Amino acid sequence: MTDQTITSVSREHRKFRPSAEFKAQANLGSDAAYKRLYAESVNSPEKFWGRQAKEFLSWRKPFKRVLDWKLPHAKWFGGGQLNVAENCLDRHLGTARENKAALIFEGEPGDVRTLTYKQLHREVCRFAAALARLGLVKGDRVAIYMPMVPEAVVAMLACARLGAVHTVIFGGFSSESIKDRVNDCKAKLIITADGGWRRGKIVELKANVDRAVVNTPSVEHVIVLRRTGQLVEMTEGRDRWWHEFVAGVPAEHAAKAFDSEHPLFILYTSGSTGKPKGVLHTTAGYLLGVTMTTKHVFDLKETDVYFCTADIGWVTGHSYVVYGPLANGATVFMYEGAPNHPEPDRFWEMIDRHGVTIFYTAPTAIRAFMRWGDDYVKRHSLKSLRLLGSVGEPINPEAWMWYHNLIGKKRCPIVDTWWQTETGAIMVSPLPGITPTKPGSCTRPYFGVVPVILDEKGVAVPKGSGGRLFLAKPWPSMLRTLWGDDDRFKKQYWTELEGYYFAGDGARFDEDGYLWVVGRIDDVLNVSGHRIGTAEVESALVSHPAVAEAATVGRPDALKGHALVCFVTLKNGSLASPELKEALRAHVAKEIGALARPDDVRFAAGLPKTRSGKIMRRILKEIAGGGDVKGDITTLEDFSVVAALQSEE
Ligand code: PRX
């Protein structure tokens, strides 16, 4: 960790109070109510969570205990049984929600489909029944590698209905990444599509799966949705078309109930070593966390049309496209493609056309909208919007103000939500109608969340000073372990400070006790809102035959948050050239996915190392950022290496 990463330079003092109008209709309408419930949630957590779990979830068998906490392993709602798909679908049937739109889908080419709760329930039952016929049982792992289409949601919910554990792999990942993830969790089945639409082109999902499954011995079947209609290869005996697979299968499936702690999904996320971490979430606690936060943070109403722009391949897509909104009986708007296709006003045009009321996106997207220009926004009224959200990285005050003025027309509260794949649900966020907001701050903790900021010795830092962010209490939607690697789980999150969850972020509290998260302090970068482990990029680079050694650092980037800058030394016999640079960028994109394509590759004769051989990333960061090399360099083995790197700029 370096000092720079936790020194906050923000001097933001603007404050925005909720309007009386919004406040009057808010689900949680008074600061006193928030404070009372928050105090109860941290002082009597078992009483608080026990009550909420009864109120928000439908149980088949009531739980007996609220929490068994054997640090760092939590078991929530022991003795209880439920079914997540039933909570998201069946319980809305026979109510006024039955014929309400669950999903309004728009494909990139412009095709629109609406599925009511009843229709979505039928599709999920049919698919679950077909999967059961195939032999899929409770606990089996299923990889889902799909475009943003309703069938992706059907696939997730069908797995949940059967007690199968899904791992959704973002459609931008490469076949290498699919292979690693599938092998790590030994998935039996992959659900994919012939392709998906992105910026007018087809994303070759099936072809990527085909390349991956050559090296995934656990995979028995591949189910392929016909989305684009393009020709793909089908392997006899292994591959089945979705429509043929479900043909003639009755849309009936009696859901079984599962224990509260039954695994629901594994989601791989970057850590500071090369291997992605399989974050495991389980049934009841996760569902409670996402259901409550969706209702409270987004002030969800029966009449809302809710649009979260995240892909289901990320945790935001799991928690706030699928499980949280559907458990609440919301109408979810889902879009397949790129925000600038055919024009950079696609989102605004769709918001007007579908009457979207709640819009949840990422700062990197907001910065792209700003760059594309205000005119694209001004063509549309956006009058249906009433609430805006932000997630994925710190939102810079300039982007916040633009979002507030141009999209929210000064009338929509902005909820800047801090959370992580590991936390499952939103941890820190304004509550709309209650919390005055400050551009760039995620403000105050949600119920049960106790954020603390500590220095390297584990001592709380004074208000206004930066430090490392920890969470002091267990919460229902917390990750339970890392799949197949409980030691890494303990080491990564629970050993920095005994008894506290280590978030890996730098943060500070301001004079009002508002939280300002400034970013990651481990070797993980935030590129366009996606966590990318520098070690992953480095291991991809050294797998190229020309590369001897590689180091990757982030350079601040106005649009992406961080740009990836890679320093490489070449093996004897390999020559630096612009072609090799391009080849290395393409190689990383092939190994990990286009989202990790380096912005810059620099060749070096050597990398700056300490005498013990550790690469001094701080120095590389300074060089990548174009600045002087400052600070202590007495441990540097050979300064000429730095001089050579600087002269290369
Ligand atoms: O650094 C924080 C940043 O994103 C990290 C979590 O990334 P991931 O697990 O991919 O989940 C992203 C979606 C929840 C955090 O450790 N981050 C996320 N939201 C915010 C944020 N940083 C500042 N403000 C936020 N609102």
- How many whole angstroms from 136 Cα to the centroid of ligand 1? 34
Please state the pTM of the whole predicted model: 0.93
What is the per-residue DSSP string for 422-465? TT-S--B-PPTTTS-B-TT--BSBPTT--EEEE-TTSPBPPTT-
Ligand 1, atom 18: closest residue by C-alpha = 392
Atom of ligand 1 nearest to the CA of 503: 16
pLDDT band at 523 (very low <50, low <70, confident <90, very high): confident
Ligand 1, atom 12: closest residue by C-alpha = 392
What does the alpha-carbon distance between residue 270 and residue 434 come to, in Å, rounded to a whole number? 34
- How many whole angstroms from 526 Cα to the centroid of ligand 1? 8
SS3 breakdown of the chain: % helix, strand, coil, rounded to 5? 35, 25, 40
* Protein residues with CB under 6 Å of any ligand 1 atom: 269, 315-316, 391-394, 416-421, 442, 503-505, 517, 519-520, 526, 531
Determine the CATH number of domain 87-256. Answer: 3.40.50.12780
Q: What is the pLDDT of residue 5?
A: 38
Question: Shortest CA distance to 403 belongs to which of 445, 437, 353?
Answer: 437
Report the residue among 316, 393, 435 best suited for mutation to probe ligand 1: largest number of ligand atoms under 8 A from its CB. 393
Atom of ligand 1 nearest to the CA of 416: 26
Ligand 1, atom 15: closest residue by C-alpha = 420
Determine the CATH number of domain 532-647. Answer: 3.30.300.30
Ligand 1, atom 25: closest residue by C-alpha = 418
Find the largest Cα–Cα distance for the chain: 74
What does the alpha-carbon distance between residue 317 and residue 335 come to, in Å, rounded to a whole number? 12
Ligand 1, atom 7: closest residue by C-alpha = 420
Tokens matching residue 147: 């475009």
Q: What is the pLDDT of residue 618?
A: 85
Identity (one letter) of the amino acid at 405? N
Pairing mode of beta strands 258-259, 239-241: unpaired
What are the residues whose beta carbons fall under 8 Å from the beta carbon of 93, sequence distance 6 or more?
A: 117, 118, 121
Report the residue among 272, 297, 517, 527 best suited for mutation to probe ligand 1: largest number of ligand atoms under 8 A from its CB. 517
- How many whole angstroms from 393 Cα to the centroid of ligand 1? 5
Chain-centre distance for alpha carbon 428? 15
Lowest mean pLDDT among 5-19, 132-146, 321-335, 546-560: 5-19
> Can you tell me which residue has the tokens 């014929």?
99
H-assigned helices in 7-100: 20-25, 31-43, 45-56, 84-88
382, 353 in Cβ contact below 8 A? Answer: no
Residue 636 has pLDDT above 80, yes or no: no
H-assigned helices in 44-141: 45-56, 84-88, 117-134
Q: Would you call 507 exposed, middle or buried from its count of C-beta atoms within 10 A (0-12, 13-18, 19+)? A: buried
* % of the chain beyond a pLDDT of 70: 96
- How many whole angstroms from 270 Cα to the centroid of ligand 1? 12
187, 166 in Cβ contact below 8 A? Answer: no
Ligand 1, atom 24: closest residue by C-alpha = 394
Q: CA dihedral defined by 473, 478, 483, 489, rounded to 10 degrees?
A: -20
What does the alpha-carbon distance between residue 34 and residue 431 come to, in Å, rounded to a whole number? 9
- How many whole angstroms from 392 Cα to the centroid of ligand 1? 4
Ligand 1, atom 26: closest residue by C-alpha = 418
Tokens matching residue 213: 């499954």
623, 646 in Cβ contact below 8 A? Answer: yes
Residue 563 has pLDDT above 80, yes or no: yes
What are the residues whose beta carbons fall under 8 Å from the beta carbon of 278, sequence distance 6 or more?
A: 167, 181, 184, 185, 266, 267, 268, 482, 483, 484, 485
624, 565 in Cβ contact below 8 A? Answer: yes
- How many whole angstroms from 441 Cα to the centroid of ligand 1? 13
All structural domains of the chain with their residue ranges: 87-256, 532-647
- How many whole angstroms from 277 Cα to the centroid of ligand 1? 16
State pLDDT tens for residues 350-399.
999 999 999 999 999 999 999 999 999 999 999 999 999 999 999 999 99
What is the per-residue DSSP string for 314-382? SHHHIIIIIIHHHHTTPEEEEE-S-TTSSSTTHHHHHHHHHT--EEEE-HHHHHHHHHH-HHHHHTS--
102, 520 in Cβ contact below 8 A? Answer: no
CA dist list (Å): 34 to 27, 152, 419, 447, 508: 11, 36, 19, 8, 22
Atom of ligand 1 nearest to the CA of 421: 9
What does the alpha-carbon distance between residue 592 and residue 177 come to, in Å, rounded to a whole number? 6
Residue 224 has pLDDT above 70, yes or no: yes
Mean pLDDT of 79-94: 98
State pLDDT tens for residues 90-129.
999 999 999 999 999 999 999 999 999 999 999 999 999 9
> Can you tell me which residue has the tokens 């603007």?
14
Pairing mode of beta strands 561-570, 600-603: parallel
pLDDT band at 11 (very low <50, low <70, confident <90, very high): low
- How many whole angstroms from 531 Cα to the centroid of ligand 1? 8
Q: Would you call 383 exposed, middle or buried from its count of C-beta atoms within 10 A (0-12, 13-18, 19+)? A: exposed
Question: Shortest CA distance to 352 belongs to which of 322, 378, 390, 326?
Answer: 378
Ligand 1, atom 23: closest residue by C-alpha = 394
Which is more confidently placed, 7 or 507? 507
Residue 173 DSSP code: B
Question: Shortest CA distance to 200 belongs to which of 337, 378, 402, 1?
Answer: 337
What are the residues whose beta carbons fall under 8 Å from the beta carbon of 444, sequence distance 6 or more?
A: 428, 429, 430, 431, 435, 513, 514, 515
